[in-house]
Every structure is written in structure tokens, then in C-alpha cells.
Amino acid sequence: MYCENCGNKLTENSQYCTKCGHKKNVIETTTAPPKEGDGKRTASIVLGILSLAGVVLLIFSPISLILGLIGLILAIKANKTTNNTVGIVLNAIGLFFSVIIVAVLALLIYLTYGIVRTGPVDYGHIIENYITEYQNNDHNF
């Protein structure tokens, strides 16, 4: 309890302020202590937003995949002490779309550089070579 006039801390039994003599009018200050998961909750929401921003900017999808995963872990840990539905949802959506975009980008890179440079496989030619080799070894069909 504090004095309404000067802000001096009062004892519970005193009727007057020892500093200014003002009659005790109780002003109780109640500040809630910070919750345990507040830092994790805030971090998970920020990482979820960054993860979604990375999805929108397609080139940063691999980074948003990592941010979404870290954010989801923090959101789940923070949800044990505080309600963190926002962090979980943001990170889950960011993670989901990041996985899809990274998979599509990997497939596009593979199709562009993996097959084009080596060329398509000519199975007909391979089969003809096996048949010719088999016949040259005096095997008849």
C-alpha cells in the first residue's frame, strides 16, 4: 500500500503517512508478474509471421521452413503455460506452405538441371543392346 498524496510505502497498520502525514487512503498496486511463456509466445508469433513472409517471397521458403519449425516448437512449449493458439496456427500454416514450396522448388531444380543435362533415357536403345549382346553370345530366343 502507498500514500495517495506522496507515494510513500505504508505499513498495513498505519493510519497516517509517516512522510507527509496524510490520512491513509489505500491505493493498492497490483502488477501481475509476467507469465512464464510470454517470451516464447511472442517469439513464436514473430517467427510465424516471418515464416509466412518467407512463403510469400518464394526464394526464402527454405529459411521460412526452418523459422516455422523453430516457431512451432516454441509455440507448443509456450502453450503449456499460456494460451498460444495464434503462434501455433501461424507457424503451422507457414510450415505447411514452406514444405510444399520447397518440395516444388526441389522438383523444378531436379527437372531443370537433372534431366536436361543428362538427357532423357532411351529405353529402346538399351533393350536393343541387351538383345544384340544376348544374341552375340549364341543364345537363341
Domain boundaries, the chain: 1-31, 38-136
Give dist(CA 37, CA 83) in Å, integer: 9
pLDDT value of residue 26: 47
Q: Give me the chain's average pLDDT, please.
A: 77
Single out the residue of 58, 46, 71, 70 nearest to residue 97, CA to CA: 58
Contact 21, 30 (CB under 8 A): no
Helix (H, G, I), strand (E, B) or coil at 34: coil
DSSP assignment letter at 33: P
What are 87-111's pLDDT values in tens digits?
888 888 888 988 898 888 888 888 7
Q: What pTM did the predictor assign?
A: 0.52
Q: Using alpha carbons only, how large is the chain's radius of gyration in Å?
A: 34
What are 111-136's pLDDT values in tens digits?
777 655 556 666 777 788 888 887 88
Chain Cα centroid distance, residue 86: 11
Cell numbers 497498520: residue? 13
Q: With 60 as the cut, is the pLDDT of residue 63 above it? A: yes
What are 25-50's pLDDT values in tens digits?
544 555 555 555 568 888 888 888 88
Contact 45, 78 (CB under 8 A): no
